[in-house]
Amino acid sequence: MKRRPSGALGGKRASVALLGAAAISMLTAMAAVGVDLGAAYQAKAVNQRIADSAAYAGALGYNATGSTGTMTAAASSLAVLNGLSASAATASLTASPSGNGNSAVKVTVTTQAPLHMARIFVNDPGLAVSATAYAEVKPAAAGCVYALKAGSTGIVLSGGTVLTASSCTVASNATVAVPCGTTIVTKTLNYNAVAAPSQPCGGIQPPAGTASVSIVKTATADPFAADSGIAAAFSHLTAVASLTGPAGPVVASGTTLTFGYSVSPTQSQLTTIGCAGSFASPVWTVTCPSGGTYAFGGISLAGGITLNFAVSGSASNTYNFSGAINNSGAAANFGPGTYNVAGGIISGGGSATAFGAGTFRVGPGTVKCSKVFYSICNLGASMTFGAGAFTLAGGIYNTGGATLSLGAGSTSNSFNIGAGSSGSAIETAGGSVTTLGGMASGTFQAVGGISTAGGSTFAMGAAPAHDLNGAFSLAGSATLGAGIYTIAGNVGLGTAGGGGTVSGAGVGIVTSGTFSVAAGYSNVTLTAPTSGTFQNLVVASSGTGGASFAEGASGTSLSGVFYVPNGPVSLSGAGNVGSGTGQCLTLVGTTITLAGGAALATACAGRGGGTGGGTVALVQ
C-alpha cells in the first residue's frame, strides 16, 4: 500500500482550516449586521410613530394660531414626551404631498440606532435612522350659517330649498337635516349631534371643483360673542328702551286769530301783537318786523282763504302760539323762523300748508286728528316744512292720499318725536306719501311706534343714529336712509298688511324684538354699512323671538351679518339672499329653518367671526 506524502496532506488540512475560519468570520459578521439592522428597523418604526404624532401636533398648533413657531414648539414637545431630545424632530411648513394646494407640516425624526456586534467590524458607534411624516392643514372656510343651540333641531331644510354656501362653512351645534329634494352646497359642514347629518338622497354636496365635503363633528362657538361693535349696539339698545318723549313748549297765552273774508277785528289784533295784516280777497298777508318775538293764541282759516304769514320774514323771528295752527282753508304759507306751537299744527279740507326752514317745537295737539291727537296732523292735501330741528311732543299723522314732508332735500335736520294719543310717534294712512329729511350731524329719536299702512310711501333720511323706543311696522313701500336703526321693539315689514318694496343702503338694524318680513313683500333689499363700527352688520337682535321671512316674501335680499343669537331664524319662500355684486350674508340663530326657496350664504369680511371646521390629517 502506498502512502501519500505527509506534507501534501498537511497543506490541504491547513487550507480547509483557513476557509472554515473565513466562513465563520463571515457568518459572524452577517449575524452581527442582522442583529443591528433589526434594531435599526425597530428604531425606525418607533421614530415613524413619533414623527406621525409630532407632525399632527405641529399641524394642530399651526391650524389654531397660524404661527410656525407654535408649530415647531408642538413638534419638539412631542419628541421630548417620547424620550427624545427636542432637536431630534425638525419641523417645516411645506406643500402637501397630496397635491391639492393645501399646506402640510413636515416632521423628520432622526435618532442613532446603536451598533453592538457590528462594531467589531466598523468604527461607527451607531447608525442614523430617520422617519418623515406629513400632516396636512385643511383650512376651514369662514362660517356663514350658524345654528347655535345645542340639543335642538339645528339646521333643517324642506320644500326644495337649496342653500348655497360654496366658499364658507355651515355649522350646527345640533342636527343637520337635508331631506330628499333639498341641497346644501358647501366645502365644510360642522355638526354636534349623536348622529351624522341626515341626507338620505345625498343632499350635502361640494361646490364645483371640490372633490368632497368635509363633514366634521365639532362644537361651534358664537362667532360674534366678543364682537365689540355688536356689544356696543346692544348696550345702546338698553338706553333707547328707556327714552321718554319730549315735552311741548310752554308759552304765554295769546290772542286767537281767525282769517276770514272780513278784515275786522283781525287787523287790529295783529297790530296789538306787533305785526301787520292786509287782505285782498281771498288772500291775507301778514308781516312781522325782523328780530322780534310774537305771541299768538291760535290761528284758523275760513274756507277758501289763503294766508301768507311772514313768508318774507326774518329767520331770527320767534312765533309763539298758545293754541293750534289750524288750516282748513285753501293754503297757508309760513316764513322761516322759530315756531313754538303748544296746541299742534293741523290741516284739512284739501288745503296746502307750507313752512320755511326753522326750529319747530310743537305740543301734543288740541284738535282731534282722525279721532286722536297729534302734534302734526295732515288731513289736507299737502303739508311741507323746510329744513329744521323738530321737537314734536305728540307725534305725526298723515292721512290717505296726502303728502307730508319735513326737511326733505336737506341733510341738516334733527327729530325728537313723542307719541300721539294713539301711542304712535308716526302713523300714515293708505296712499299717503311721507318724507323725513336727512340728518348729517343730527339724530332721529322717537318714543312710540312707527306705523305705515298698505299703499303708502315712507322715506326716512340718513342719520348717524335712528333711535326708536317702540315698534317699527311698515306696510306699503319704504326707503330707509343710511345709518343705524336702534329699535326697542319689534321690526315688521308687511305685518300690518299690504305689499310694497323696502330698500336701504348702508343700513344696520338693531332690535330687542323680532324681525319679520310678511307675505306680500316681494322686494326687500337692505345692505349693511361698508365701513365703521357696524361694517357688514345688517340686522342684530338681542331678543328671543327670532326672525322670520314668510311665504310670499320671495324677493328678499339682505347683505351683511344677520345676527339673532337668542332666537330662531326661519325663511319660507324667500328668494336669493345676499346675491348681489359685492354682497354677503351670514346667518346666525339658535336654529335655522329654510323652506320653499333658495338661499345664498357667504361670509362677511370685516365683521370678525370664526372659521370653524378646520381639520388636520396625516397624508404621508
What digits encode the pLDDT tens for the residues 163-219? Answer: 888 888 999 999 999 999 999 999 889 999 999 999 999 999 998 888 888 888 989
Judged on CB neighbours under 10 Å (0-12, 13-18, 19+), 180 is exposed
Residue 613: pLDDT above 70?
no
Burial degree of 212 (CB within 10 A; 0-12, 13-18, 19+): exposed
Selected residue with higher pLDDT from 88 and 233: 233
- The confidence score (pLDDT) of residue 65 equals 66
289-319 confidence digits (pLDDT tens):
999 999 999 999 999 999 999 999 999 999 9
How far is it, in rounded angstroms, from Cα 414 to Cα 437? 9
Residue in the block written with cell 326733505:
408
CB of 183 within 8 A of CB of 203? Answer: yes
Distance CA 340, CA 580 (A): 47
Nearest-angstrom CA–CA distance, 189 and 193: 13
Q: What is the pLDDT of residue 209?
A: 83
* Share above pLDDT 70 across residues of the chain, in percent, rounded to a whole number: 85
Residue reference for cell 325728537: 416
CB 426 within 8 A of CB 417: yes
Cα 33 to chain centroid, rounded:
69
Q: Residue 391: which pLDDT band, with cuts at 50, 70 and 90?
A: very high
pLDDT at 145 over 50: yes
Tell me the C-alpha distance between 483 and 472, whole Å. Answer: 15
Mean pLDDT of 497-526: 85
pLDDT of residue 1: 46
Q: Comparing 102 with 560, which gets the higher pLDDT?
A: 560
Q: Which three cell numbers stand for residue 58?
A: 405641529
Characterize the bridge pairing of strands 598-600 and 585-589: unpaired
Lowest mean pLDDT across 34-43, 67-76, 346-355: 34-43
Question: Residue 611: pLDDT above 70?
Answer: no
**What is the number of helices (H) and of strands (E) in the chain?**
4, 51
Integer Cα distance of 18 and 235 in angstroms: 99
What is the band of 607 on the pLDDT scale with cuts at 50, 70, 90? confident
Q: Grid coordinates standing for 330? A: 285753501
Taking a C-beta distance cutoff of 8 angstroms, is the pair 620, 597 a contact? no
Read off the pTM.
0.79
Which of 110-124, 228-242, 546-560 has maximum average pLDDT?
228-242
Give residue 100's pLDDT.
Answer: 60
Q: Could you tell me which of 183, 149, 153, 185 has the C-alpha nearest to residue 170?
A: 185
**pLDDT for the residue numbered 577:** 55
Q: With CA atoms as reference, report the closest residue to 87 among 117, 112, 66, 113.
A: 112
Residue 301: name the closest of 260, 246, 341 by CA.
260
Per-residue model confidence as pLDDT tens digits over 37-53: 666 678 788 878 888 88
